[in-house]
Amino acid sequence: MRLPFALPLALRAPSRRSSIIAALCALAYLLLVRALRWRRYKAIHKKYMAKFRARTLTPEEAQDVVHLAMLYDMPTLSGYSVAFALFKTYGIPTISQLLLDTRQLGTQATVARRYADTALLIGTWVTCPLAGRALSAGPDDKNDPRASLALARVNWLHAKYKISNDDYLYTLGLFMFEPAIWAKRWGWRELSELEKYASFVYWSEIGRKLNLQHIPSTPEELQTWLKAYEEDHMLPAESNHIVATYSTGELLFPVPKAFGLRDFAEGLIRGMLDDRVRIAMMEPEAPAYARPVINTLMAIFAFTEKNLLLPRWKLSSFVPVDVPKDPGMRQNPTRWTSRPWYKARGRGFGALADRFWVLVGRHDDIPRIEYHSEGYRLHELGPIRYEQEGHDEVFKMAEELQGCPVAHTWKGKNEEKV
């Protein structure tokens, strides 16, 4: 008579064991995440804390520290913080008007190209060693002059325009401090004092290599200068609004307009801007939902990354990390803007994937020769009209920046576009 009642109990026993095993596996995974999440952070701080206290951190060592948050721990958040730092400069009328005058951010057609080139140039000098060799490089490792080539190309391009030192310095300061602000506001952890100081040392060296003058000697002095400069120069202007509109369109290109999704996303963007920046760009106030939605979503992402995801084992970069086997070969970025600049044309399933991304609105065209699907070379980046100019000058400047010759094999061969 007990058999009908005993059977369900017997059947439930394996299920209970499975639940216990699943719970133990989940607990083991969470403990593993917790054990590994801070390992690289602790190693970097142990390595450089003494030099931080003595204020003897070299630019190359500072770059190693900067990689911790930007390329390992919080690459997506850090990347957006730099993108928004650049976006924030469009609230300065002298900067936005210059961009309109040069027609580099005056139409949506030119925005994607400029964003791709800017991301490649900045991504290169962030990722690749400033000294031409990684700190961990062995005697048989190849030199890597890509950071110097990228800096030299920017110097050559900027020399064609009249840009004030103050506008340069303001942009540099935003690159220096915005990642820490974003990490404190939305990251899964804040940047440490070592990381903040390393950012100052690293970007100050970038500024010197870009020929900036009067860079303050301490972070505190530069922050005071930035605040005063914004108060005096960040003023409403039509040029600010035009450039910001095109830039927002590029940033939100994958968001469909259907069902008001694009308008919703634009509201979120305005919610991420400081009031002074928003007013200077002549944008309306953010909707009431913007900041609560942003803070909630960011909190979810931060919690997930900190507690549920294993740390990255490799650098996450917009540019290829490894030195190319053939210095003259063209390279392809790891990510693309609305137009697939420098993306290799897919074959077979890759070609179908390219068309799929166009179909769903991630890009507005498939890779083709017009977008340099063969890849890029650093000394050719910039406006289309300058692609074939300044190569010798760039290599000469790169050698001066690096303090040693740069093999001209990095120039590559002149080839027909295919």
The pLDDT of residue 104 is: 64
Which of 14-23, 37-46, 259-268 is the least confident region?
14-23
Q: What's the confidence (pLDDT) of residue 45?
A: 97
Mean per-residue pLDDT of the chain: 89
Token couple for 277 = 């920046």
b (16+ CB within 10 A) / e for 336-347 = bbbbbbbbebbe
Q: Note the pLDDT tens digit of each residue in 54-64.
A: 999 999 999 99
Which two three-digit tokens encode residue 171? Answer: 């942009």
More confident residue, 137 or 220: 220
Number of H helices, E strands in the chain: 16, 0
Q: Does residue 311 register a pLDDT over 50? A: yes
Secondary structure (3-state) at 230? helix
**Residue 417: is its pLDDT beyond 60?**
no
Distance CA 275, CA 234 (A): 11
H or E stretch covering 315: none
Report the candidate in 397, 417, 320, 405 with the shortest Cα–Cα distance to residue 157. Answer: 397
Give per-residue burial for 106-143: e unless 16+ CB within 10 Å, then b.
bebebbbbbbbbbbbbbbbbbbbbbbbbeeeeeeeeeb
Q: List, in order, residues 6 or more apart from 362 with CB less than 8 Å away.
A: 254
Q: Which pLDDT score is estimated for 416?
A: 47
pTM, to two decimals:
0.89
Cα separation, 37 vs 24, in Å, equals: 20
321 dihedral zone (left: phi>0; alpha: psi -120 to 50; beta): alpha
pLDDT of residue 76: 92
Residue 414 has pLDDT above 50, yes or no: yes
Which tokens in the block code for residue 136? 């961990």
Task: Tell me the average pLDDT across 172-198.
Answer: 96
Distance of alpha carbon 258 from the chain centroid: 29
- Which percentage of the chain shows pLDDT scores above 90? 61
Length of the chain: 418
Angle at CA of residue 322, ends 345 and 370, nearest 5°: 25
Beta strands in 109-262 (DSSP E): none
pLDDT at position 2 over 60: no
The pLDDT of 378-399, averaged and rounded, is 92
CA angle 413, 417, 418 (to 5 degrees): 120
Is a pLDDT exceeding 70 seen at residue 415?
Answer: no
